[in-house]
């Protein structure tokens, strides 16, 4: 793996990227998994790379459901194994959920590699090798184990595809999904949609287990019943809009503390003659005027009052 300094502003995101690339090298993660990781990065950036209040709520409800379930199963794909094998194993052990490898681009080799990775991280039994085409989907994607996902009452699917999520809910299973895209079909279809990074969501959930483990079933069901997935989705989208507005304000704000921007040292270096200095001042004045104009027009666009196109 490439060495990334811990103080890099995007350390977490870059580390995750390295883990996914390592997953490809280990033969666990597919090329499509790399593209999916990129999509996730973009949505995570928009969500603020933080667990929102709504996501924490969904994570709590997910823990309740896993504790309530009679036959919960955690579905594991190549990206999940590359990013959080140890956390998946721990969640499985603490909730009694089975682990089942379930791949969109399934090959027996990748299934074996992922099972190996989970076992290296402490898993005892991992399902997936004896999968049969039991779901109403085309052959390879239809495969699940009879004692695993097929019989499960609650399925926890970090990073699932929309079709399969739909099929699982049609089979009356309760589906918990982790998906950073609140607009995805998976997020819209699952019963509990955790709009959070897998690498934040799983440790959060593990931390929450002691709080819920000793509650009686009735209290747990009360929490689950009160949960409203649309509210959580709405909240995630709202957070993205707020972050986009903050970015707009940041761009517009340039003129409000322009001295901060213009006060930075001249990058060409060296001392300036009097002439150079006057030129520089003129240049600065011009730039300020331009920035001023930008901010004014940009504000109009934010209000959708401006006419963008040249005539």
By CB under 8 A, which span of 35-43, 83-91, 149-157, 272-280 interacts with its own copies? 35-43
The interface with its own copies within residues 145-174 (CB under 8 A) comprises 170
Q: Is 135 within 8 Å of 141 (Cβ atoms)?
A: yes
Q: Does 261 contact its own copies by CB under 8 A? A: no
CB 290 → its own copies: shortest distance, Å? 8
Q: Which of 60, 131, 176, 177 binds its own copies (CB under 8 A)?
A: 60
Q: Which of 4, 15, 24, 215 binds its own copies (CB under 8 A)?
A: 24
By CB under 8 A, which span of 29-37, 87-95, 201-209, 211-219 interacts with its own copies? 29-37
Would you call 147 exposed, middle or buried from its count of C-beta atoms within 10 A (0-12, 13-18, 19+)?
middle
C-alpha atoms less than 13 angstroms from C-alpha of 36 in its C-beta half-sphere: 25
Q: Does 17 contact its own copies by CB under 8 A? A: yes
CB 95 → its own copies: shortest distance, Å? 20
CB 265 → its own copies: shortest distance, Å? 13
Nearer to its own copies by Cβ, of 125 and 234: the residue is 234
Nearer to its own copies by Cβ, of 147 and 302: the residue is 302
Q: Does 226 contact its own copies by CB under 8 A? A: yes
Would you call 295 exposed, middle or buried from its count of C-beta atoms within 10 A (0-12, 13-18, 19+)?
middle
Nearer to its own copies by Cβ, of 206 and 291: the residue is 291
CB 193 → its own copies: shortest distance, Å? 11
What contacts 24+ positions apart, CB below 8 Å, involve 234-243? Answer: 235/52, 235/53, 235/54, 236/47, 236/52, 236/54, 236/55, 236/182, 236/195, 237/182, 237/183, 239/47, 239/48, 239/52, 239/54, 240/43, 240/46, 240/47, 240/182, 243/46, 243/47, 243/48
Nearer to its own copies by Cβ, of 47 and 126: the residue is 47
Closest CA to 179 of 192, 164, 166: 192
Is 262 annotated as a binding-site member?
no
Q: Is 195 within 8 Å of 233 (Cβ atoms)?
A: yes
CB 264 → its own copies: shortest distance, Å? 12
Q: Does 212 contact its own copies by CB under 8 A? A: no
Measured CA to CA, the distance from residue 175 to residue 164 in angstroms comes to 11
Closest CA to 191 of 223, 162, 230, 152: 230
Q: Does 280 contact its own copies by CB under 8 A? A: no
CB 46 → its own copies: shortest distance, Å? 8
Is 180 annotated as a binding-site member?
yes
């Amino acid at each position: 793996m490439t060495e990334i300094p811990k103080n890099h502003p995007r350390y977490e995101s870059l580390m995750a990227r390295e883990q996914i690339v390592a997953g490809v090298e280990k033969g666990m993660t597919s090329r499509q998994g790399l593209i999916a990781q990129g999509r996730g990065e973009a949505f995570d950036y928009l969500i603020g790379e933080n667990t929102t209040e709504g996501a924490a709520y969904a994570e709590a409800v997910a823990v309740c459901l896993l504790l309530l379930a009679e036959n919960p199963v955690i579905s594991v794909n190549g990206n999940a194994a590359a990013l959080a094998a140890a956390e998946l194993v721990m969640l499985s052990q603490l909730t009694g959920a089975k682990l089942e490898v379930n791949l969109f681009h399934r090959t027996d080799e990748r299934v074996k590699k992922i099972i190996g990775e989970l076992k290296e991280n402490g898993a005892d039994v991992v399902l997936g090798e004896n999968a049969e085409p039991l779901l109403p989907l085309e052959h390879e994607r239809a495969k699940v184990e009879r004692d695993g996902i097929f019989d499960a009452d609650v399925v926890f699917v970090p990073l699932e595809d929309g079709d399969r999520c739909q099929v699982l809910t049609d089979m009356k299973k309760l589906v918990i999904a982790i998906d950073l895209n609140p607009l995805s079909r998976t997020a819209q279809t699952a019963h509990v949609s955790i709009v959070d990074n897998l690498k934040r969501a799983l440790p959060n959930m593990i931390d929450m287990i002691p709080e819920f483990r000793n509650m009686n079933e009735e209290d747990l069901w009360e929490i689950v019943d009160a949960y409203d997935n649309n509210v959580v989705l709405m909240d995630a989208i709202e957070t993205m809009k707020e972050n986009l507005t903050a970015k707009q304000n940041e761009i517009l704000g340039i003129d409000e503390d322009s001295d901060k921007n213009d006060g930075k040292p001249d990058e060409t270096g060296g001392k300036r003659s009097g002439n150079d200095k006057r030129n520089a001042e003129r240049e600065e004045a011009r730039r300020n005027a331009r920035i001023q104009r930008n901010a004014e027009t940009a504000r109009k666009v934010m209000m959708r009052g401006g006419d963008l196109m040249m005539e």
